[in-house]
Structure 1
Amino acid sequence: MKTTYNKKIKSKIRYLLSVVIITSIFQSCADLDEDPTIAQLAPGAYSKIQELELGVTGVHARLNDASWMTTFYAPFWAGDDITTHFGSNKAEFREFDQRQVSQANSRVKNNWEAIYRTIRAANTVISNNEGLILTDPGEIETQTRLIAEVYFLRGVMFFHLARIHGQIPLPLVPDPDQQLGLSDQVTVYEQIESDLLAAESGLPDVYPGVNAGAPRPNSGSARALLARLYLDWAGFPVKDNAKYAEAATSAKQVIDNSAAHNFALLDDLEDLWTLANVFNSESVWTIPYCKSCGQPNRKFGKLGNPSDLAGWQETFAEIRFFEDFPEGPRKEATYRTEHDWENFNDQPTPVFKKIVGPIEDNLAPDFQTDRNDFFIRYAEVLLIYAEASARSGNITAEAWEALNMIRRRAEGLPFNTPNAGVDVTTGDLAELAFTERKWEFAGEYLRWNDLVRMERVEQALSNRTPQTSMNSSGELLPEFNPIKGSLGTDNYFAPIPQREIDLNPSVNN
């Protein structure tokens, strides 16, 4: 009992510090006289705009508490692009990797709890704002933007959790004692849509005073997440094909207004993974971190290396996926191909450059970094447009161009310059775009959801045996974390944590 209490105290201290730290990460926060921890925790309705500002900062602090470790993305180890260590202390990651996830998995439990803390914080801000009547036009504009931002954060948290669990509770008021059951999938999607539409209507084209990459969301960030939502909605489990057209329309809206939102592809994919570019135009929404401020990111650097490279042995690349990956600049930007990984003494698996960083940044000795999370990239918006246009039966030259921009950059070519040797204008555009996503977002915790929405888990995961990778003795390398659980649709979503069922039996479906 004392251990649990101490953990709660430490968590509370970290959160209070986070409220202050997040203010320093965002350039847009106002200078305030009040102690931000006191203002954030004070109950009741807000009486001035500064309290609302601090409340929103508190929601971001909760988000960082939820997202700063790999637990936030642990369920996505299920994809065919990512694996983990075959032993060590990675058993709970292996459960996802091997499709045999226990309700006692602490990664599931901790992620669920942290996301709902963020949602409760958002609900508190929305509730406390209801009595805040302002008369100054500038303050009214700020209030509109801040509340829209909170709706964005709540919608994204619902969305992230729904991608993991499918049906989830949808608390919309700050009552911590609510005993809500699971909402059906369509209701969940409709709530996410409602939150993101509310966000879009109140957010500006560019959030004032922040770095590139929308570390605080703008209206284009919300519309881009809507495009991702509609793409999922059109796939498993709802399979509402009409949503493909909405996904394409939403993505096209972001593309047409990309200059207004300061969104653009980077010329070189390699540049995305450098510390110099943690804020960049390609990130449509960024979760920022700051190591020196005490708010580090613990998903990169050392976590991606085996013990041969003094690594933390957590986030490895799948061998078969690496073997199938087309050669060229994009593969070089995705993996550290200079390593003799086939002969690692620990676990011979390829190393993600996206995780450990380029050699010049020297992130390998540390598991806490200044890397940001690019939650959704402009490249994904382009590929959603290409795929959704095709699946909705509305193939246009612009849809082909969206695909070809990504293909050109993958070959190290200027993405805006047509190239007959790379460009495609015939064939199955939907499948070409789907496959392009496979390579473009390898190691970015997106592949699993693509396999789920297209019901291709069994196709991808039943064929992971390396075909050509051998060690220096000429021995074919094994698959280190073989599948143990079902690859059927009945096993696509993670179970509700047992602790939540114990506390609230109505979530036991």
Structure 2
Amino acid sequence: MKPSISASNTLENKQRGSIRPLKRHFERIKPSIKKGIKRILIVLLLTSGTFSACNYLETDPEDFVTPDNFYNTGADMERAVAGVYNRLIDQYGRMYSRGLYSYLVISDEFYYKGISINDQRVMDFDAGHLDINKFWEVLYSGIDRANQLLENIDKPDMDETRKNEIHGETLFLRAYYYFLLVDNFGGVPLKLSSTKSPTEPYLPRSSVAEVYAQILKDMLQAETLVGDISKYNYNEKITKTVVQAILAKVYLTMAGEPLKDVARYQDALTYADKVITSGRHSLNPDYARIFINHCEEKYDIQECLWEIGMTGNQLGSVQLAGRVGLENGIECPDDAIGYSNGPLKPTGRLFKLYGAGDLRRDWAIAPYKYVTTNGVTSKSFYTATQIYERTCGKWRREYEQLTPKSRGYSPTNFPVMRYADVLLMKAEAENEVNGPNAAAYEAINMVRRRGYGKPVNTPDAVADLAEGLDQASFRDSLQDERGREFAFEGMRKHDLIRWGLFISKMQSLAIEATAEAPTNFKYSANAAKNTTPRNVLFPIPSTELTVNHLVTQNPNW
């Protein structure tokens, strides 16, 4: 049953109606992929401080494409912006197809099944780790693609409105890639022009403040250029409320660690309010339905402002599938239902964070697994004491529509920005600027009411936050609420770091899990035990340090 939403035609099957944006771009460029995009990637991949150029340069291409004979038409620009978006899905799993909700965001909310030593998943790695190096490379690849498009934005004679939208989308994506870089690595080389030669000079690291200044410049300009989400019946494209919501997140981050620019709380409040007063978005009344929609390939542009679009099962020529529901799925041996080894398991801390009557717990954390007995697969429910045995339950492959279901990939989208996030950012910023006033309470209570299955606009004695909290107590409650609402959505580590709590939370988790986890699950404490202050940032990759001697390493790596 589809949830009730105010606008018509905003929730529809991704395999009906409008073809998905990235898929549409790639379908358009077949059969030109091999001759066109494949060759232009030669230029796009030559990112300063990112690759060893000699490893990526084809010296004798059959059909070389350069900026001189590309970016000439609207179709060229659509192909180019598709290439910028494409870096959000790295096919090897270092972006939103996998890493940014799993092994790149280890925190106190989950641990990895069966992994106890010598692995990034237990915070045991160094600057030479492949996934850290590739994460850096993918982000700079996206930046270089964006730079090259921006340098040619006025070249084609095309519809001016669409040109402006592409301009804005590209500016935003460049800024967003820098946001991921500065959030994970600290100050980084700030490269604002495309690589035109492998012999270009390398750049030193810019300061964190300088990187954020550029992020704001790009996003604020993008806000004036991108289209309104009301133009679309899907949410994979960068639109005005997406830019505004991410700006609120950027401002909140700047207000916290490491910049501590507390004046930015007011900016965060301003931008959260822009999204709220736009009237474009609202909470889906059913928490579980948000994630069922993802698995059923349906759009709900009221709740989900921005999703990373994935499609197919990686069996065709368009490689746009991800691992949502596998990497973070319910344990299941049956391919027909949807295989997952159930790698991500909740900590006891996450399980206990939910209060009595909070329906989100048994959706976010699976209350069952699938077992096969005598050829029949059925649900096996966990007992009340089997907390550490459970898995992530948000994206349940039993709801997937595409068949055959792959053991390695799924077509399920991943949400980067939900309306619940806007409301909780509003509550947080309001509390920091004005204290726990009525507006802060109403924003957090709307999210809580939905979590308890109550009408979101009606006060409720069970769901609503206790009245009379001071600013510090409201802040603590807000932090816990984000943990409940966004469990397994890749936000917890980011939040704990900007609040200055990451190290203390991991250290206390090590003590908790060691004391309370069953004997067979004591290893769930290992990632926390291995976490030290150096883990607030990733190391600058060794591949970068090898070629760029102007870049210095992060502390203690």
Provide the TM-score with structure 2 as the length reference.
0.76
What residue number does 1:334 align with? 364
| 1:405-424 pair list within 5 angstroms | 405-424=446-465
What residue number does 1:500 align with? 544
Q: Measured at CA, do residues 32 and 271 of structure 1 come closer, stay the same or move farther in structure 2, by a change above 3 Å?
A: closer
**CA shift at 1:283, angstroms?**
1.4
The counterpart of 1:349, out of the listed 374, 385, 389, is 389
**CA shift at 1:121, angstroms?**
0.8
Q: Amino acid of the residue matched to residue 188 of structure 1?
A: V
What residue number does 2:468 align with? 426
Q: Distance in 2 between matches of 1:484 and 1:88?
A: 11
**CA shift at 1:319, angstroms?**
2.8
The counterpart of 2:431, out of the listed 386, 390, 406, is 390
Q: What is the count of residue pairs matched by the alignment?
A: 469
**CA shift at 1:415, angstroms?**
1.1
Q: Measured at CA, do residues 33 and 204 of structure 1 come closer, stay the same or move farther in structure 2, by a change above 3 Å?
A: closer
**CA shift at 1:497, angstroms?**
0.8
Preserved CA contact (<8 Å) 1:203 1:217 = yes
Matched, 1:254 2:279: no
Preserved CA contact (<8 Å) 2:331 2:341 = yes
What residue number does 1:143 align with? 163
Q: Measured at CA, do residues 467 and 117 of structure 1 come closer, stay the same or move farther in structure 2, by a change above 3 Å?
A: closer
The counterpart of 2:112, out of the listed 63, 77, 84, is 84
Q: Distance in 2 between matches of 1:476 and 1:91?
A: 19
What residue number does 1:367 align with? 408
SS at match of 1:367: coil
Matched, 1:316 2:345: yes
| 1:53-452 pair list within 5 angstroms | 53-65=78-90, 67=95, 69-74=97-102, 76-87=104-115, 91-95=119-123, 100-132=124-156, 134=157, 139-175=159-195, 177-206=200-229, 208=231, 210-212=232-234, 214-259=235-280, 263-274=281-292, 275-276=295-296, 278-281=298-301, 282-292=303-313, 294-301=319-326, 304-305=329-330, 311-312=340-341, 314-327=343-356, 328-339=358-369, 348-355=388-395, 357=396, 359-361=398-400, 366-393=407-434, 395-424=436-465, 425-427=467-469, 428=471, 429-452=474-497
SS at match of 1:374: strand
User: Runs of 5+ in structure 1 lacking a partner?
Assistant: 1-21
**CA shift at 1:257, angstroms?**
0.5
**CA shift at 1:416, angstroms?**
1.9
Q: Amino acid of the residue matched to residue 189 of structure 2?
A: P
**CA shift at 1:253, angstroms?**
0.8
Q: Amino acid of the residue matched to residue 211 of structure 1?
A: N
**CA shift at 1:30, angstroms?**
11
Preserved CA contact (<8 Å) 2:89 2:97 = no
Q: Distance in 1 between matches of 2:241 and 2:270?
A: 13
Over aligned residues, Cα RMSD in angstroms?
3.2
Preserved CA contact (<8 Å) 2:286 2:453 = yes
Q: Distance in 1 between matches of 2:447 and 2:360?
A: 10
**CA shift at 1:493, angstroms?**
0.5
What residue number does 1:48 align with? 73
Q: Distance in 1 between matches of 2:273 and 2:392?
A: 31
Preserved CA contact (<8 Å) 2:122 2:530 = no
Q: Distance in 2 between matches of 1:145 and 1:219?
A: 10
Deviations 1:354-398 (A, max 9, x none): 25x165549997331111010111111100010011112355422
Deviations 1:278-309 (A, max 9, x none): 42221111110111554211242265456888
Choose between structure 1 and 2: higher helix proportion: 1
Q: Measured at CA, do residues 178 and 417 of structure 1 come closer, stay the same or move farther in structure 2, by a change above 3 Å?
A: farther
SS at match of 2:307: strand
Provide the TM-score with structure 1 as the length reference.
0.83
Preserved CA contact (<8 Å) 1:72 1:111 = no
Preserved CA contact (<8 Å) 1:329 1:412 = yes
**CA shift at 1:27, angstroms?**
8.0
Q: Amino acid of the residue matched to residue 242 of structure 2?
A: S
What residue number does 1:19 align with? none
User: Runs of 5+ in structure 2 lacking a partner?
Assistant: 1-17, 41-64, 370-380
The percentage of counterpart residues that share the same residue type is: 24
* 75-84 or 140-149: bigger deviation: 75-84
SS at match of 2:67: coil
Preserved CA contact (<8 Å) 1:80 1:461 = yes
